[in-house]
Amino acid sequence: MEFSSKLLENAVYEMSQLPGIGKRTALRLVLHLLKQPEERTNMLSDALMSLRSNINFCATCHNISDTILCEICSNTKRDESLVCVVEDIRDVMAIENTSQYNGLYHVLGGKISPMEGVGPQDLNINSLIRRVKEGQVSELIFALSSTMEGDTTNFYIYKQLEGLDVTTSTIARGISVGDELEYADEVTLGRSILNRVPFESSIKAN
Ligand SMILES: [Zn+2]
């Protein structure tokens, strides 16, 4: 792509670094911004800058939050004996959208993937085990995507919990094998969390 301006080229390049944005789309977005009043671009860049510098992660569940404890963890109406283990905050949003779940969450920040160099120490697993040891959690619900990495992560955590007084379950596989959780429709995902099964029987089934 030939540019008549270095400034334009730089803006298009930066925009095209975002996932799912090719050079052509990046160019269209940049030209769109140029047609808008200058305040629009300022508001966009201010929102991104302030997100970057002020964002917090909940001290308990690692969900993105504006406060030390996120709204879910600090809501006394939620059942703190139930903790749903998810890969990232998009999964929290997907499960919240089903309105079928009233427990808390634990956001791992990914899943174990030797291929991508992600080991257990790169994820929020120690803090999860600590939460269980503190004794308020009676059930952990594994809600990772049913891929090999998801299964490996479930199993790793399950082994870490040996000897601790906690029940483990996994969401019912209405979610197709290999599917990412965030793409499941709300009804399917809602039903999967209600019809969860003990984790032990899910290992035997595999
Ligand atoms: Zn939280």
Domain range annotation of the chain: 6-54, 64-205
Secondary-structure percent of the chain, ordered helix, strand, coil, rounded to 5: 45, 15, 40
pLDDT tens figures, 170-202: 887 655 555 666 666 776 777 777 778 788 877
C-alpha distances in Å from residue 6, one per residue of 10, 31, 94, 114: 6, 14, 41, 40
- Per-residue pLDDT, averaged over 111-115, amounts to 93
Identify the CATH assignment for 64-205 out of 3.40.50.970, 3.40.1360.10, 3.30.70.890, 3.20.20.150. 3.40.1360.10
Is a pLDDT exceeding 90 seen at residue 204? no
57 C-alpha to center of ligand 1: Å?
A: 8
| 168 contacts 138 by C-beta, under 8 angstroms | no
Strands 64-65, 56-57: pairing kind: antiparallel
H or E element that contains 148: helix 148-160
Percent of the chain with pLDDT over 90: 70
Q: Under a CB-based contact definition with an 8 Å cutoff, are residues 24 and 32 in contact? A: no
Ligand 1 (ion): residues with CB under 5 Å are: 58, 60-61, 63, 70, 73
94: CA distance to ligand 1 center in Å?
16
For 6-54, CATH gives 1.10.8.420
pTM here is 0.75
- At residue 192, the pLDDT reads 76
The closest of 183, 164, 163 to 175, measured between CA atoms, is 183
Mean pLDDT, all residues of the chain: 90
The dihedral sign for the CA sequence 88, 89, 90, 91: positive
pLDDT average, residue stretch 157-169: 93
Which pLDDT score, from 0 to 100, does residue 170 have? 87
Q: Ligand 1 mean position to 64 CA, how many Å?
A: 8
Ligand 1 centroid, distance to 99 Cα (angstroms): 17
pLDDT the model gives residue 79? 97
In this model, does residue 107 exceed pLDDT 70?
Answer: yes
